[in-house]
Amino acid sequence: MKRTKNTLSEKEKELVSLLIQDCKSTGDIQSKLKRLFAGTIEQMLEAEMEEHLGYEKHDVVGNNSGNSRNGYNCKTIISDYGECEIAVPRDRNGEFVPKVIEKRQTRTDEIEQKIMAMYSKGMSQRDIEDNLREIYGAEISQTLISKITDKILPEVNEWQNRPLEPIYPIIYFDGLVFKSRKDNHIINKCVYSVLGIDMNGQKDILGIWLSENESASFYASICSDLKKRGVQDIFIACHDNLKGLGEAINAVFPKTKQQLCIVHQIRNSTKFVQYKDRKAICADLKKIYGAVNLDDAEYAKEEFREKWDKKYPSILRSWDANWAELTTFFNYPEQIRRLIYTNNAVEAYHRMVRKYTKTKSIFPTDDSVRKVVYLSAKEITKKWTQPPREWAMAYSQIMIYFADRFAA
């Protein structure tokens, strides 16, 4: 692609000419820009002081006005140009409140925005510290970086408690395990995500919940939270059969149909199968979940039993125990089946979260987990602008199969 030369005004050209005088390297230019930046800030502060007092410096109007300039305070600020020392004017009455650089502010908004951007892309605090030192010459400790990123926590809490849609045709449940510190020990923390598809076919992460133990009470608290935030009905809930989750969904949303993830079921079925039999086992299992209807699926299951039950009795034991929830998708046409037979939508989201968090092997606190996962979710969901393929056809079928729930 052909690039065009930057067009500068006459004043800008004059400024550039002055800037590059006596400069022999980009480092010299950077140093001049730093001084220019500090000088600009100081002039802006002088203008603010002039507006505050109501008269220019050395103007006789200020005589006996009741307030006057009272020297300067020296202040070090961190910006894109590194550390700069500036002189902040004072007034005798101590009433001057600067706006361009506020009291106790030591960083410009731009440097904080860069820290947040690097953090949201999955960079560790140590990497951010090194980058700021190498690129901007700014010495910012990991503790200070943590304090800056902590500013996102109120936004995280607001997002986690935001109102939700009253009806979600399809919702997916899945968890992701991170390592975290607790009392000088490394423990596993599960971050549970709920991905919903709304009536317009738009995907959204409805929330993230942290727990040390995945239990029935934990899942019940997730479902209760969804209800409290405005969810009145879920038509179909897709999950991977974690113990207690199905009961929790039934307790809070009793009308919800549940579909267990077929992909998870196949993984569990082939976990202890000998390598030489795995391909044949998978092909015969596909005859079950790939059947045209429930009758054909049951017939294929019995064929599988005759062929493999003596060698691998545990496979169909699991399918039999969960048959009702594994075959929910047979009640619906193909367009809906493709959306609900697997948890792939939320698993794909979690794979993206892993990419953003791969540099963070151990998190120091629960809040650090929340910050990173929330920022990752914000980045990932920016690309969720289109509904799933064939959503229009699937939605028309949903309206038929759940017509009574729309009117409720």
DSSP alpha helices (H): ranges in 55-164? 109-120, 125-136, 142-149, 153-160
DSSP-derived pairing of the beta strands 69-79 and 82-91: antiparallel
pLDDT tens string 250-279:
999 999 999 999 999 999 999 889 999 999
Residue 1 has what pLDDT?
A: 47
Query: In what side-by-side order are the strands of the sheet with 185-197?
Result: 203-211, 185-197, 167-182, 233-239, 257-260
Place of tokens 């979690």: 350
Which runs of E-coded beta strand occur in 261-309? Answer: none
Cα(193)–Cα(172) distance, rounded to whole angstroms?
8
Cα(171)–Cα(194) distance, rounded to whole angstroms?
7
Residue 11 has what pLDDT?
A: 56
CB 148 within 8 A of CB 115: yes
Output DSSP code: residue 101.
Answer: S
Q: How many CB atoms lie within 10 A of CB 298?
A: 15
Among 389, 360, 396, which residue's Cα sits nearest to residue 127?
360
Residue 378 has what pLDDT?
A: 87
CB 311 within 8 A of CB 207: no
Low-confidence ranges of the chain (pLDDT < 70): 1-34, 36-38, 40-41, 44, 78-83, 100-102, 104-114, 120-122, 124, 132-142, 407-408
Residue 51 has what pLDDT?
A: 80
Cα angle value 17/23/28 (rounded, 5°)? 120
pTM of the model: 0.71
Place of tokens 């650089």: 101
397: Cβ contacts below 8 Å, ≥ 6 apart: 332, 333, 335, 336
pLDDT tens string 29-44:
666 666 766 676 677 6
CB 170 within 8 A of CB 391: no
Cα(295)–Cα(292) distance, rounded to whole angstroms?
8
Q: How many CB atoms lie within 10 A of CB 275?
A: 7
Residue 90, classed as helix, strand or coil, is strand
pLDDT tens string 230-249:
999 999 999 988 888 999 99
> Which run of H or E residues covers position 366?
helix 366-381
